[in-house]
Amino acid sequence: MGLGKGAEHEMEIGMVGLGRMGANMARRLVRGGHQVVGFDPSHEARAAAAKDGITAAASLEELCHKLQPPRAVWLMVPAGDPTRQTIDKLLGLLDRSDILVDGGNSHYKDSLAMAELCAKSGVEFVDAGTSGGIWGLEEGYCLMVGGSTEAFSRLEPALSALAPKGGLLHTGPPGSGHYVKMVHNGIEYGLLEAYGEGFELLKRGPFDLQLGEVAELWRHASVVRSWLLDLLARALEKDPQLEHLRGYVDDSGEGRWTAVEAIERGVAAPVITLSLQQRFLSRQEDTLSNRVIAALRNEFGGHKVEPR
């Protein structure tokens, strides 16, 4: 059944990209009672998804054929050229009034351009900033959704299945979802840097402190407690000095975009900007502060780490 048919809270949706995020989002949708048709270039990814009740499609053409119009197709593919190329191909397969959702980390200016391109074909474009990482399957995904009111309303059953209570917001027109997600990730850079620097100072101080015990302590009633601190305590429990990985901290683009946006808007954002610069520095030396950030990114998002 397509978007306009069936039970009030049941939808059929296509998921393009069955990697770390897309596969779990598809699984959560199925758990929520929705029908999902999934495509990924990897046969192994398609086979794994099929075991969890997701209807596998071997191509974008097959995915669109298996979805009844009006369709909803959700993209979870890398930002930039892969997203643009996938959208270009889908626009040749979708019909007017279908909905195309970009749930990846695209630059909001790219999303504005994609919305304009989709509009020429009569396809509704929605940009869904998605946060939750590898924990989203169980905990839900925080969704920052840009698009028309009509498109948001039509997608709301699926969006509500993906998000936890309070974790869904229609941020405004197309582009706004990815703008909010960009700033969200810029803030994340600053938070990670603060934890990294603080635990570096604890290690180098005059006392023989157990870093894991301090992290666990701060989780309880401290003003610096957070989900990130929970994850840090978990990482330190597994490896008290985080000696299994290098303090090499990559950046996937959003921090750079946030810093550039702050410059263009004349907004002072020294913490976010310096946290980005520290990531550049991390590729030149190996410190505990950088190992803290690397461990946290691996814990919440399954991001790649480099072993020592």
Residues labelled as active-site residues: 181, 188
Q: Quickly list DSSP for 165-213.
A: TT-EEEEESTTHHHHHHHHHHHHHHHHHHHHHHHHHHHHHSSS---HHH
Pairing, β 55-57 against β 124-131: unpaired
Three-state SS for 80? coil
Three-state SS for 163? coil
Q: What is the DSSP letter of 133?
A: G
Side chain identity, residue 171: T
CB 283 within 8 Å of CB 248: yes
Tokens of 38: 């999934």
Q: What is the DSSP letter of 135?
A: G
Three-state SS for 92? coil
Tokens of 92: 């040749």
Three-state SS for 260? helix
CA distance 128 to 142: 10
Three-state SS for 2? coil
Tokens of 90: 């889908």
Distance of CA 250 to the CA centre of its chain: 16
Rg, Å, the chain Cα set:
21
CA distance 185 to 173: 20
CA distance 221 to 190: 22
